[in-house]
Structure 1
């Protein structure tokens, strides 16, 4: 079963409310542009719109999810739903021409047709102009939904002929819930929700248990720093450096360090319910009681400074070693 409007409104309250109200009043536009960052649910809601448009048994705004049309849309094989996406780097004019040819024929199931153009900003000029003519003169009963992360990269003439719906980053609660629904452990989902607002990016970080392993490395390094400070540089060399090999990975590791120190600050100001490392509260308390607020602020600043230095192309390993020395000195 696909998304329903209750879930859609949780993910995208404003855009979904407008679309649902439009369906309720039977005033669907013939063409929409869903714009927003990746992982905000644009294609899931586009699929829901296709179901609504094609379902012949729906009551109110919800598709029935039982008829052949609904099932074919959610399985991705409805003959009257056409998805266009880039072949290589761009969407080519031949793809749009092929789409127009499809639409010149009556819908196989209901006389209606839906076309979804993914990453519409990747259309080359010829494809964009060809689609423009299609938007100006839709053939029969059709619904067009274009998606993009870069509306500024699209022809202004296309933007003027579609109804633009802006998709906002998911709220932290919805983001965590979505990750958990994708099989991510809640403790990892909480961390990811503070590191990115992009669902696709967050899921990529869970591949091969990367985020879970990164989390362990961070906790181990900080534990060594507190319980056996003389060993922390060895821990850095033996465990941290081999794992966080590339600069972007190092930056993510530092983000996890920053989140740990912010958790320590949360305990200092009596906000345990806001912890990100929820399963590490005992360890966090042990560290928090041994740090004054001033020392804790200095530690956090040392980590933030390290991230800035790496941004400025300081050697990640050197920057991390110097950070550990600063943290040991207090």
Structure 2
């Protein structure tokens, strides 16, 4: 993979190429942005470029020994630090400091990539800060993170921050068609659902993911006709673990967003995310008040935040479905009592529910 093959992020790629051409490459970078938009890929490609034996015009050749070693993950001067358990620990940064004492073994630069640097424990972050304050020559350090605010300001001030943007829907759709042979109509739907993330789009290639989404949206689309006992049974069946439930809540947010968009006067100029459910979105949107849709969106976000705690997932899902049912049928009942008390954590739980 070379700079020329990276999807999107043209502005950042051009900036890096200019820095390489002018030989003014900073000693450390921070790449920020959502998952699946090319932060790690760009970091690995930059590591290849600075050590490429035959590259020209600010890119790598992908043919020399150095490029082949980097592509296979066997280059001795390119190291990646990932979290050990839930955190990046100080022992990992201390090991990095030991490596930085020596010159690169084969390449021009020793490149260290710290993925998801927001997971560094405070003592690890402070240890890294000392490295950045006195960067050894012939070393390049690249941090990736979701948000710049998740890192120590003192670390941020010693690195060049490059914010990565979500990929364009057209770029994702084209990639799905060309790389995976997806039909254009289906690729367009998947690209909208990916929300700018290529990794999310790749996950949707698994039909089980699309089937799970379709099952969930069918439930919420017909929730006004559902009996309470059916909703409780659906919550029991819905209860998932880890990534599945996290993604399910994202599907629910896209549904609420589409209902809100459908109510806008400019709805014709704003595309729906769930294009394959356009008719059902149109039919369901009139059953909800705009403030109720915003209220439910906020509640879903709160449940997502509370997922980091040991909450009762089934009760939380029951609360969500009951609130949707209450608003869709314009009933007076208040389902907030179903929200589990142990989910309070640092959040205001439950969120204020309007009438």
Question: Which of 108, 122, 127 is the aligned partner of 2:105?
Answer: 108
The match for 2:320 is 316
Structure 1 pair 85–287 and aligned structure 2 pair: CA distance change class (3 A): closer
Is the contact between residue 51 and residue 108 of structure 2 (CA under 8 Å) also seen in structure 1? no
Q: Please give the alpha-carbon distance, in whole angstroms, between the structure 2 residues aligned to 1:305 and 1:140.
A: 52
Query: For 1:143, what is the secondary structure of its paired residue?
Result: strand
Q: Alignment length, in residue pairs?
A: 308
In the TM superposition, residue 69 of structure 1 has moved relative to its aligned partner by 1.1
Task: Name the structure 1 match of 2:114.
Answer: 117
1:147 corresponds to which of 144, 148, 157: 144
TM-score, normalization by structure 1: 0.72
Deviations 1:89-119 (A, max 9, x none): 3323332222232233332223531111122
RMSD: 4.2
Summarize deviations over 1:6-40 as a string: whole Å, max 9, x none.
535x2x23322221221232221121111223323
1:159 Cα offset (Å):
2.2
Of the candidates 51, 54, 66, which is equivalent to residue 54 of structure 1?
51
SS in 2 for 1:44: helix
1:1-330 map, 5 Å: 2-5=1-4, 7-8=6-7, 10=8, 12-177=9-174, 181=179, 186=187, 188-193=189-194, 196-200=195-199, 209-219=208-218, 222=221, 233=227, 237=231, 240-241=234-235, 243-245=237-239, 251-258=249-256, 261=259, 274=271, 276-278=273-275, 284=279, 297-298=286-287, 301=290, 304=293, 307=296, 311=300, 315-323=319-327, 325=329
Higher Rg of the two aligned structures: 1
Deviation at 1:202, TM superposition (A): 6.0
Q: Between Structure 1 and Structure 2, which shows a larger proportion of helix residues?
A: 1
Alpha-carbon distance in 1 for matches of 2:155, 2:291: 49
User: 5+ unaligned residues in a row in structure 1: which ranges?
Assistant: none
Distance in 2 between residues matched to 1:154 and 1:280, nearest whole Å = 40
- How far off is 1:248 after superposition? 5.9
- Secondary structure of the residue aligned to 2:87 is coil
Distance 1:189 1:137 in 2: 46
Moved more, 117-126 or 306-315: 306-315
TM-score (norm 2): 0.68
- Aligned-partner SS, 1:315: helix
CA distance in 2, matches of 1:216, 1:248: 15
